[in-house]
Amino acid sequence: MNKQITYTGMIWLLAAQLVVMLPFLFDLPLWLLPVLVVVAWWRLRVLAGAASQPGNVVKLLLIGLGVGGLLLSGLRFPSLDAMATLLLLGFAFKSLEVVQRRDAIVVIFIGYFLVALHFLYTQSLTAALYGMVSMVVLTGALVGVQQAITEFSTGQSVRFNLRLAVFMLLQCLPLMMVIFVFAPRIAPLWSIPLASGQTQTGMTDRMAPGDIEKLGKSDELAFRVTFKGKRPAQHELYWQGLVLNHFDGHEWRQFDRDYDVYQLKTALMSHYRWQPERMQVQGNPVAYEAVYETSGQPWLFTLSPAVEVEGDVLRGADYRVMAQEALQAPFLLKAVSYPATQRDVVLPEYLRTLALGLPSTGDQRSRELAQRLRREAGSEQVYIDKVLARFHDLAFEYTLNPPTLGDKDTIDGFLFDSKRGFCAHYAGSFVFLMRAAGIPARVVVGYQGGEWNAAGQYLAVHQYDAHAWTEVWLAGRGWVRVDPTTAVAPSRVEQGLEAAVQAEGSFLADSVLSARKMPWLNGVRQQFDAVQYGWRRWVLGYDREEQAALLKSALGDLSVGKVALFAGGLFAAIGLFWLLALGMAQRRQPEAPEHRLYRRFCEALAKRGARREPGDAPGAFAHQAAEHLPALAEVIREFTQVYEGICYAPPADGRVATRRLKTLLGKIR
């Protein structure tokens, strides 16, 4: 038989809705919150008798307004944002027609689904902790909407519901862990397109003056790296992402036309594919694991060249490593790099053509400078040294706030006029001068360095570590890394960006409240980041390979029968745990304060010779006890009246009545 929801139950339901919807407001339209507030206000007025239940016309009007707001929000259809917003609208509007308890249960079950849905937006540790809080509140609401109004006072009800919700969820914890460990790690059967540009962060596939310095002003995390052996020196940490070959006079791109991800994947599997035979592996290996943050882009960053790679990746002729799809979740990569390896000692003709391309016109002063210095140099290495010496000797300045250079003759404007720039200015102009002198060269973008976290023993690479450098091709040596920024600001590579721009005070100038700029918070920040990395590595990074390795270490040689037997034993243990937990819970039924005080009241009277029989009602027992103990008759009658009042006609503030019971009990003892 369905029963109407109580006022207290409705409060629980609306509180649960608010808790579930709050985290979505960081990604979805903010007007969803006022919608929930208005709906909650209206529903409470209905319960209080101050308003009427909305009719069908009003409901249709609200639905129309909600859909109209959704269309005006500019969300792409179909997309995760649009679908989630529509579901949240229904979640909020549903409370308007909640009358029976079963209606409230439907709303709560939708809330459980929304808690899971939010993990499509973020899978951080803080999101997981908030999800646990949401589950507790939803389960507390599930208990609350089925609770009789006279069962507890308000404060007791909140404590009891939350305590029971936590107990119920803790019972699920062993089963959750077994499913997490043993459930097959399979790819999703379908995908929902995300909103355009929703998670596009970090390095892009093009570079113009001013682009990378924008990243240099952000302390957002890019990826974390754990080394399996000795950590390389700071100046050796060049994390290559993309190679930019084409220059149109203003910006550098990968190729002479834009490729979407599908076309780029096709190129990397055909004419621009990785050919390991073009490497002469030498030097010491560097083994590491990298966990990349969600970026909405497929670029991965490795020490080049990454000779051995574990993961679902693509590799290119320029020694890049790229994910199969844009990163919409943290991505784990295991790699072994040999930085001293010679690459492309014999340069393929199509790569030579890419590495020599320049616009037919423009930047004439730079072309003439290159030709003059090349004639004076005699050899390619001497020419390279001359260009670097020019950066060093002519008072060029490294800055996060370079002047604008316009859209034409940007190389001339930097080399001869402003002489103030960030790494992109130096890398772009250096490659231009190399190509103008007939030396194959290319721009490489990625990250340089990183912050060592002693608490977690890993390297954290942030967006402000974004960097651009160059590679030149020399006969007999192949591609050689040259970083022209070191000629102007060697501290950038040795100590990081903060040291390089310390004099101008521009490091994270727009992030005044960044913990990175507060030394007294650094220890706490690093400890918290270490915990976050553990979550990323061991929970979100638990894939098929990790699962197989864990099961093999626990069970030895794997077989279907052995895994099934082990999993069956764990399920049996969980069942036994549940039986014991339920038995202990049954033995420890909560006792309301008034009942506990009445029990003690009866025990105190029994010591004085007035014993209550199991079938005696409180009023009848009070009459008998008063006759037996006339000196306490008034106290006995008042105690019984207050107790019966709490049980059958709960007062507005039960705490006052409970305190009165304690006072009267003290007079009997």
Q: Tell me what the mean pLDDT of segment 530-550 comes to.
A: 82
Nearest to 537 by CA among 529, 395, 492: 529
Of 69-78, 359-368, 459-468, where does mean pLDDT reach its minimum? 69-78
Contact yes or no for 213/507 (Cβ under 8 A) = no
For the chain, the helix, strand and coil percentages under 3-state DSSP, each to the nearest 5: 55, 15, 35
Q: Retrieve residue 281's tokens.
A: 């592996």
Q: Which residue has the higher pLDDT, 347 or 528?
A: 347
Cis status, amide bond into 54, omega within 30 of 0: no
Between 286 and 1, the higher pLDDT residue: 286
DSSP H helices, 145-272, are 154-182, 211-215, 261-268
Share above pLDDT 90 across residues of the chain, in percent, rounded to a whole number: 36
Which two three-digit tokens encode residue 623? Answer: 């009459």
CB 639 within 8 A of CB 657: no
Enumerate the domain spans of the chain: 7-151, 206-517, 593-668
Say whether pTM exceeds 0.75.
no
159, 162, 167, 172: CA torsion to nearest 10: 180
Query: Are 343 and 278 within 8 A, CB to CB?
Result: yes
Mean pLDDT within 134-156: 74
CA 229 to the chain's CA centroid: 28
Confidence of residue 144 (pLDDT cuts 50, 70, 90): confident
Split at pLDDT 50, 70, 90, the class of 108 is very high
- pLDDT reported for residue 244: 93
C-alpha–C-alpha distance, residues 603 and 611, integer Å: 8
CA distance 230 to 415: 40
Q: Tokens for 609, please give them.
A: 């010779």
> Is 179:547 a contact under the CB 8 Å cutoff?
no
The residues with which 480 forms a beta bridge, in sequence order, are 472
* Lowest-pLDDT range of 27-31, 175-179, 474-478, 557-561: 557-561
Q: Please check whether residue 403 is in contact with residue 392, taking contact to mean a CB–CB distance below 8 angstroms.
A: no
Quote the tokens at residue 262. Answer: 């599908």
CA distances from 155 to 41, 95, 139, 421 (A): 22, 24, 17, 63
In degrees, rounded to 5, the angle at the alpha carbon of residue 427 between the alpha carbons of residues 425 and 429 is 65
pLDDT digits 0-9 by tens, 59-89: 788 788 888 888 788 777 777 888 888 888 8
Sign of CA dihedral 302, 306, 311, 317: positive
653 compared with 532, residue with greater pLDDT: 532
* pLDDT in the model for residue 326: 86
pLDDT greater than 50 at residue 479: yes
Q: Which of 13, 201, 189 is closest to 97 using CA atoms?
A: 13
Name the burial class of residue 455, with classes exposed (0-12), middle (13-18) and buried (19+) by CB atoms within 10 angstroms of its CB. middle
Q: Which helix (H) or strand (E) holds 472?
A: strand 466-474
Q: Please give the residue that has the higher pLDDT: either 528 or 191.
A: 528
Instruction: Give pLDDT, residue 267.
Output: 80
Torsion of the alpha carbons at 290, 294, 295 and 298, rounded to the nearest 10: 60
The Cα 73–Cα 484 span in angstroms is: 46
Residue 648 CA to residue 72 CA, distance in Å, equals 54
**Residues 255 and 351 sit within 8 Å (Cβ to Cβ):** no
What's the start-to-end Cα distance of the chain, in Å? 46
Q: Is 483 a catalytic residue?
A: yes
SS3 sequence of 83-116:
HHHHHHHHHHHHHHHCCEHHHHHHHHHHHHHHHH
15-19, 87-91, 94-98, 488-492: lowest mean pLDDT where? 94-98
Is residue 29 within 8 Å of residue 85, measured between CB atoms? yes
Two tokens, residue 192: 């929902």
Band of pLDDT at residue 634, cut at 50, 70 and 90: very high
Q: Which of 409, 423, 462, 529 is catalytic?
A: 423
Question: Is residue 647 among the annotated active site residues?
Answer: no
